[in-house]
Each structure stands twice: as structure tokens, then as C-alpha cells.
Amino acid sequence: MTTTAATPRSQRSMERRITFLVALAVFAQESTWNFYDSQVPALLRDHLASAALIGLCMGMDNLLGIFIQPWMGNRSDRTRTSWGRRMPYLVVGMPIAALLFLLIPHAAGTLATLLVVMFAYALVANSFKPIGESLMPDFIAPERRSRANAAVKIASAITVIVAALISLLVVDDHPDLAFAIPSALMLISIAVLAATVRDSRSPAYQQALAEDADPDRKDAAHVRVRETLGEIVRDTDRSRLLIIFAIFLFGGAWAASRSLVTPYGMEVLDLTRGQAGGLTLPAGIAYIIAAYPMALIAERIGRLKVMIIGMAIFAGGMILATVVQTPAGTVTGLCIGAAGASGFMINAVVVLWNLAPSARVLGTYAGLHTVGWATGGFLGPAMIGAVVDVTSWSWMLLDIAVLTALAILVVVKVQSAQRQRADGRAL
């Protein structure tokens, strides 16, 4: 990727600043998503008895993301303004999403109104999610994207802790107020971001402008999502396609471990709604501690290898929590699992970005990452919930471990294929 002619020190300073601001953008988004995953299932449980139906409803936002996020990522790739190609969408979408999120508990009186507001929130929030994430590769060179993405994921993990704290301290006594706190965090974050970031100055945006002006590449200036996806499917190197499939599988496992953990705690561990929602608090801390070291290790030994190791650790945590079915055992297993999951979650999208043929499609590739993640997020909770209906809540975490094992096998296949390559791509 072409970069500006800055000194190494000024370049590093710029990258640290941008990494912080992109992390803030992701924090703004995830501050509502994590609380949504933690507490909306309990609202649905007041109307639905089936775990599969609850999981299906919770997966609705992921189903929307499958269609909306690649299209919006591609649309932002093709946007050209004095402010850049990402920020115009963020400053419009985030405040609207914050308002809709605030309305969720007020719509919980009936299932129909709750589902309508959930749908509206998911529609808007999905529209700008890949756009915020794409800011990072716009500014950061490929070889340093893992550590930058680790900082972004740490910001996301902090919102898990925020959601858990709100569950523990606010939900049981003030359920409506609890939803207002993440909304306020989103508004504050986007205000700071809007005042400080102009992505028209990013190296990737400047490279995209240069490619737009190149007569030999004129036909590629407005590549659509279906064309990008078709090129990936037709490629004899199946690495990109298999990575997306692995993201689908592990995305399903991760989503099930988040979306169903509150009812799991209530059914298996006999906890209150607030206590069950707080089970993920220590796991969020474990994720934060593990994230940056996982990124540094990935840049040293390879991203694919760390993805495999991380998923194996995640599966081990789920097995441990199944064997030791106490609040302490569950928290320990979730902590181990979250630390391992960071190895996959930090590096999967970086692998896709580094496989992208041009800076003009970074947003599209972020959207394709979301296709895999959101499809898994939609189907994973429903599939695990269906197995729970057949067996029992007691085996839920073991079921998640089995799904993770399938994802490990897919990444092992990609790793085997990449050993045959020697083109210098940072995988």
C-alpha cells in the first residue's frame, strides 16, 4: 500500500492516533451491540418459551448484516467527498441508532412492537458497522494491522465490560435507564470522532483516487459486491472463500456463547437476570489482557496459526465450563474462551484485508468478513438453541465447542494451502 512521505516517527505517531480514533468508532458501535446481546434475550424470554425462537430473534440483526453490510461497505468504497468515504455515513447513522436503541425497553410490552424496534435498530446499526471498521486499514499498513486491530478489539471488549457492569448494577432496579447509558456513550463517541477524523487524508483513500485516475484501471473504479464475490468464488486459490467460511463457523460459536449466556445462567446456574448478564464481565477483562499479545504473536509466527490456537483455547474453555457447572466454573471457562477467541477475532479480518487485491475494496472486504460473521451470528444461536431444546441447557457450552472444532479444521486447510505460497502476503 502506498503511504505518505512521512518520517518513521511521525508515521508511527499518526498510526497510533488513528488507531485510537478508530477504536473509539468501534467503541461507539459496540457499546450498544454488547448490551443488546446481553439483555434483549431476557426481554424476549417474557414472550417466548423456546430457546430456538429466542436465538432466532437474536440472530435477526445478523441476518440483516449479511445483506446490508457488504453493500454499505462497497458503497463507502465508491464514495468520494472532501471528508472522505467513511465519515459521512458514520455521523448520520450512529445518532439514529442510539435513539432507536433507547426505545427498545419501552417497546417491550408486546412482542410485535419489540421486534419492530429491534429490526429498526439492527437495520441502521448494521449500515455503518463495516464502515467504521474499514477506517483502520485505510490508514494502517498491512504488516501492522494485527496490532492496530488488537487495539480496536480491546475497545470493543471494553464495551463488554460496560454491558456487564450495567447488567450487574442497573438492570434489576432501573431497566429503562440501563438502555440509556450505552446510547449516551455512542453519542459522545461519535461527537469526538466527527471532530477529529477526515479519512480523505488516509493513504488508502489517496491510493483509490490515484487508481480512479489511471486509464488502465478505470473499469475497476466501481466494482460491485457481486463482482468482488464472484472473483473470490472463481479463484483457484480457495483461501479467501475458506476464511469466510471459518468466520461463519466461529462467528456462530461466539454468538451463541454471548446471546444465550444470560438464559443459560438463569436456567443452569439459578442466577437472577442481572447476575446472569454479568457472567461475561471477567471474560471481557480476559479478552483485553490477551488481545495485544495475541496480535504481536500473530505478527511473529503467523496469523493463521494464532487463529487455530485461539479457537482451540476457546473450545477448551467451553469444555471446562461444561464439566464444572458452577458460577465460578462458568466464569473461568468464559475467561479462557474469551482469551482464546481474541486470537481468531483480531486476525481473521486482517487476513482478508491483506488478501484484498486493491485499497479500493477494503470496505467491501470488511463487509465480506461480516457476511461470514453475521451469517454465523444469525444461525449459530438458533442452531445451538435448537440442540438445547432437544437435549438441555446443561450441554449448551459443549455444543459450542463442537461447532468451534469445525472452524479449526477449515483454518487448518487454509494454512496448508498457504504454505505452498511465497508471495509475501502478511498471513
> In the predicted model, what is the mean pLDDT of the chain?
83
What is the H or E stretch that residue 413 is in? helix 396-418
Q: Does 271 score more than 70 pLDDT?
A: yes
Look at residue 221 and tell me whether its pLDDT is greater than 60: no
Q: Express each pLDDT in 345-393 by its tens digit.
A: 999 988 888 887 777 778 888 888 888 887 888 788 888 988 988 888 9
For 412, counting Cβ atoms within 10 Å of its Cβ (0-12 exposed, 13-18 middle, 19+ buried), the class is: middle
**What was the pLDDT predicted at 425?**
52
pLDDT (average), residues 92-105: 91
pLDDT band at 308 (very low <50, low <70, confident <90, very high): very high
- Residue 2's pLDDT band, with cuts at 50, 70 and 90, is very low
Residue 19 has pLDDT above 90, yes or no: no
Give residue 319's pLDDT: 96
Please list, in sequence order, all residues whose beta carbon lies within 8 angstroms of the beta carbon of residue 355, skipping any fewer than 6 positions away: 239, 240, 243, 365, 425, 427
Q: What confidence category does residue 7 fall into, taking pLDDT thresholds of 50, 70 and 90?
A: low
Grid coordinates representing 354 are 491483506
* Nine cell digits for residue 13: 505517531
Domains of the chain: 8-418 (1.20.1250.20)
- The three cell numbers of residue 4 are 505518505
> For the whole model, what pTM was predicted?
0.74
Is the pLDDT score of 133 beyond 90?
Answer: no
Helix%, strand%, coil% for the chain, nearest 5: 85, 0, 15
Is a pLDDT exceeding 60 seen at residue 284?
Answer: yes
- Mean pLDDT for the stretch of residues 84-99: 88
- Beta-carbon neighbour count of residue 402 at 10 Å? 15
- pLDDT at position 417: 77
Distance of alpha carbon 149 from alpha carbon 289, whole angstroms: 14
Q: Give me the pLDDT at residue 5, please.
A: 46
The confidence band for 307, taking pLDDT boundaries of 50, 70 and 90, is very high
Q: Supply the DSSP string of 204-239, one letter for each residue.
A: HHHHHHHHHT-GGGGGGTT--HHHHHHHHHH-S--H
Distance separating the N- and C-terminal Cα atoms of the chain = 16
Position 8 scores a pLDDT of 64
Q: Which of 89, 238, 109 is nearest to 176 (CA)?
A: 109
Give the confidence band of 219 by pLDDT, cuts at 50, 70, 90: low
pLDDT tens for residues 147-190?
A: 888 888 788 777 767 777 787 788 777 777 888 888 888 888 88
Among the residue ranges 2-6, 76-80, 287-291, the one predicted with the least confidence is 2-6
**How many residues belong to the chain?**
427
Name every residue whose Cβ is closer than 8 Å to that of residue 98 and which is 6 or more positions away in sequence. Answer: 32, 183, 184, 186, 187
- pLDDT tens-digit readout, 238-260: 888 899 999 999 999 998 998 78
Query: What pLDDT does 157 receive?
Result: 73
Q: What are phi and psi of 6, to 5 degrees?
A: -95, 160
Give the span between the Cα atoms of 280 and 37, in whole angstroms: 11
- pLDDT range class, residue 235, cuts 50, 70, 90: confident
State residue 424's pLDDT score.
Answer: 47
